[in-house]
Amino acid sequence: MKQSQLFTKTERFAPKDEEAVNAKLLTRAGFIKKIAAGVYAYLPFGLRVIQKISNIVREEMNTIGGEELLMTTLVPKSYWDASHRWDVKEMFKMESERGEHMGLGWTHEEPIAHTAMQYIQSYKDLPKAIYQIAIKFRDEPRAKSGLLRGREFLMKDLYSFHASKKDLDAYYNVVIEAYKKVFRRLSLDAKVTEAGGGPFTKEYTHEFQVLSPQGEDALFYCEKCDFSQNKEIANPVNPPAGGHGAGVKSGDTCPKCGGKIKEGHGIEVGNVFKLGTRYSEAFNLKYLTKEGKKEFVVMGSYGIGISRLMGTLVEVFHDEKGMMWSEAAAPFKVHLLQIGDSASVKKQAENVYEELRKAGMEVLFDDRDVPAGEKFADADLLGIPYRAVVSEKTGEKIELKKRVEEKTELVSLLKLLAM
Is residue 68 close enough to count as binding its own copies by CB under 8 A?
yes
When the beta carbons of 111 and 255 are compared against its own copies, the nearer one is 111
Q: DSSP 3-state assignment of 7?
A: coil
Instruction: Give the whole-angstrom CA distance, residue 39 versus residue 143.
Output: 9
Is residue 8 close enough to count as binding its own copies by CB under 8 A?
yes
Q: Which of 7, 99, 406, 407 binds its own copies (CB under 8 A)?
A: 7
Q: Which of 83, 86, 88, 111 binds its own copies (CB under 8 A)?
A: 111
Candidate segments 60-68, 194-202, 236-244, 258-266, binder of its own copies by CB under 8 A:
60-68
Q: Which of 23, 29, 43, 381 binds its own copies (CB under 8 A)?
A: 43
Pairing of strands 386-390, 334-338: parallel
Is residue 130 close enough to count as binding its own copies by CB under 8 A?
yes
Q: How many residues bind its own copies (CB under 8 A)?
A: 52
Is residue 371 close enough to count as binding its own copies by CB under 8 A?
no
Q: Which of 12, 13, 16, 36 binds its own copies (CB under 8 A)?
A: 36
Ramachandran angles phi, psi of 156, nearest 5°: -105, 125
Per the CB < 8 A criterion, the answer to whether 161 and 119 are in contact is: no
Is residue 314 close enough to count as binding its own copies by CB under 8 A?
no
Q: Which residue blocks in 284-385 are alpha helix, DSSP H?
A: 306-316, 343-358, 372-382
Is residue 122 close enough to count as binding its own copies by CB under 8 A?
no
Is residue 128 close enough to count as binding its own copies by CB under 8 A?
yes
Go through 99-126 and write b for each residue having 16 or more CB atoms within 10 A of its CB, e for each that does not.
Answer: eeebbbbbbbbbbbbbbbeeebeebeeb
Q: Which of 14, 47, 361, 411 binds its own copies (CB under 8 A)?
A: 47
Instruction: Give the whole-angstrom CA distance, residue 143 versus residue 141.
Output: 6
Instruction: Give the whole-angstrom CA distance, residue 229 versus residue 160.
Output: 25
Other residues' Cβ atoms within 10 Å of the Cβ of residue 96? 10
Question: Tell me, what DSSP letter sits at residue 29?
Answer: T
Ramachandran angles phi, psi of 40, nearest 5°: -120, 135
Is residue 40 close enough to count as binding its own copies by CB under 8 A?
yes
Candidate segments 90-98, 172-180, 248-256, 337-345, binder of its own copies by CB under 8 A:
90-98
Give the interface with its own copies as residue ranges (CB under 8 A): 5-9, 30, 33, 35-36, 39-44, 46-47, 50, 65, 67-76, 79, 89, 92-94, 96-98, 100, 102, 104, 111, 115, 118-119, 128, 130, 135, 137, 139, 141, 151-152
